[in-house]
A and B are shown apart, each in its own frame.
Chain A
Amino acid sequence: MRRAILILVPYLWLLALFLVPFAIVLKISLSDYNLSIPPYTPQMDFSNGWWQGVKDLFAAFDFENFIFLTEDDLYWKAYLSSLQIATISTLLTLMVGYPIAYGMARAPEQWRPTLMMLVILPFWTSFLIRVYAWKGILSTEGYLNQVLLGIGVIGEPLTILNTNVAVYIGIVYTYLPFMILPIYAALDKMDGSLLEAAEDLGCSRLSAFWLVTVPLSRNGIIAGSFLVFIPAVGEFVIPALLGGSETLMIGKVLYEEFFNNRDWPVASAVAVILLLILVIPIVLFQRNQQKQRESDG
C-alpha cells in the first residue's frame, strides 16, 4: 500500500506536468494557426462526447506546420546553424577544459578539493549574470578592446559582441564546468603508475599522454562533450544576449515565434523537430553512461 503511494505520487506529478504537456505540444504542432486566443484550432471539444471529440481532433490534424518548416529555409538554416554552433563550441570547450582538468588531476592532493570547489562555484552563480558579464567585456568600448587598444595590439576596436564569436565564448564560459568535471573525474581515477609503466616501456612523455592518458579519459571526454553539446543546441539566453542578427539558433527562433509572432502551431512544430534531433545525442549519451557504470562494476 505504502509502496503504491510512493510510486504514484511522483509518477502522477510527472505524467501531469511533463508527459501531458508534451502531448499538447504534439497536438498543437498538428493544428492550424488562427487569429484568436488561444491562437490555434482545433481545440478539444467534447460537447459531442469523448470519442467524437477525439475523432474530430484527429480528423483536423495535418502536417502543414511541418511542411511549412521545410519550405521556409529560415528553419532549416536555424537547425543547421544550431548544430554547427553547438559542435564548434563543444570542441572549443574541450580544448579549454582538458588542460584545466589535467592540471587539476596532477595538482598536489591537498589542493584538489579547493580547485574542485573553484570549478563548481560559478555553476551556483546565476547563469544570466555570467552571460551578462561578457557584454561589458566584448562590446566595442568594452574592457577587452580597452586593453588591446591600450597596449597597441590593435588600432581599431574589434567587433566581437553580437557575432557568433561572442556566442562561442559565451557557451564555452558557461558550460566549462560540465566539461572539466567528468574529465577530471576520469583522470583522477587513473593510476599514476600507468604513466611510469608506459615511460618504463619506452614511451616519451608526449606519446605516453596520447597512448595512455587520453584513452583512459575517453569516457570523461565523451560525457563532458554531450553535457555541453545537448544543452547548447537548444540554447536561448546566450545567442539572444551575445549573438547578433546573423546568429541563428533554434531556441531563439522558437522563443520569438512564440512570443513575438504568436504562432503557437509553428513554435510547437519547431519544438517537436528540435526534440527529434536531440534524441540521437541523448540516447548516445545514456548508452555511454550505462557502459561506464557497467565497467565501473
Chain B
Amino acid sequence: MPETKFEPWNDPNEKPLIEFRGVTKRFGTFTAIDNQSFDIYTKEFFALLGPSGCGKTTMMRMLAGFEAPTEGKILLGGKDIAPIPPNKREVNMMFQSYALFPHLSVWDNIAFGLKRDGKDKKAIAARVAEMLKLTRLEKFANRKPHQISGGQRQRVALARSLAKAPKLLLLDEPLGALDAKLRQDTQFELMDIQETTGTTFVIVTHDQEEAMTVASRVAVMDDGRVVQVDTPDRIYEDPNSTYVADFIGDVTILSGSVTPKDKGYELRFAEGQPTLYADSDLSLTDGQTGYLAIRPEKVAVSPEKPEDRRNALKGKILDIAYLGNLSTYHVELPTGQVVKAQTANTRRLANRPFSWEDEVWLSWSDSAAVLLER
C-alpha cells in the first residue's frame, strides 16, 4: 500500500476542524482582521506567519476566546465558538511569555488545568507523569519556574497546555525567547510532540524559517489579511504575490509589460535590455504589467553569455557576500537595477572565479522565475 501523503486540504470529503467565516475584528476604528475566511484541518500544524502588527496574534486570541470577532463566525468542529468563554473551550494556548505560575511547582503548573476539570487525584497524577515524560521534565517536577532554564520553562508551558488534551493547541511565538541554537532543536521537538499526540497545532510566528520548518501549511499574513495559505514548498516556489515572494526568502523582482509567448509570457522590464521569458499558467492580457520573481540560487553566473538559455543579462559585480558554503553576488545591470545571484562555493576561496567590478552574465531557465500579477 502506498504511503498516503497528509493533505486533508486537498480531500473534498474531509471536514475542517476550524473554519473562519468572513471574520472581521476591529479595535475602535482600527481594523485588525479584515473579512477573512480559511480552514484548518485536524492534526494539522498550521502556521500564521507575518510581520508584527499584521493581525496574527489577534487571530489566535480569537481562537482562545480572549477576543471576539466583530463580524463573521469562527466554527470549531462545525459549531460557532463565540458564546463559549475561554475557560470552557477545548482550546489551550501556550503563551509567548509562557505565563508559568511563579508560585507553583512544575508539577502543579502542569496539573493546574486538570484540577479545574475536577478529575480524581490518581488520574491527574498519571496525566502529569505522562506529560513530564513527553517533555523530558521528570527530574524537574518539584522545581519552581525560576529554578529551571529557559528551554525547560518552554517545555513546561507546552506540557501544561497539552495536559488537558485540547482539540486545538495555540502556540504564540513559542520559541521567541530561546537562543538560535536551542530554537532549532526545539523546532524538531515540537514537530515530534505534535505527531505523537496527534493534536492540531496553530503556531503564530514572525520567523519565516521557523514557520517553514514546522508547519504543514503556512498562512502568510499582511495588514489584517491572509495573503496566501499553502504548504511551505509552494509558498516558496509558487508565491501568489510579490509580497509573499519578498517576505519568504531572498528574491529579485523585475517588473514590466508582458506579451504572451509559448507556454508563458515575455517581459520587457527596461529599454535597451533583452526581454525575459517565464513559463506561467496566469492569464494576462497583452501589455499588462507583470512582476518577475527570481530566486538568487536559480541564477547562474558565468563569464561568457550562455548559449542554451534565453534569459541572460549582462552586468557588473557590485558586492560579494561570502557566507562560507555560499556566495551571494549583487550584480548591477546597466539600468541601475540590482539582481542577486547565489552560487555554492564548491572550490576553495583562492580560486574564486569572480571579483568586484567584473563583467558577468546572469542566466536562468524558462521555468526558474515566477511571473506574478501583483
Is any CB of A less than 8 Å from a CB of B in the complex?
Answer: no
Give chain A's interface residues, CB within 8 Å of chain B. none
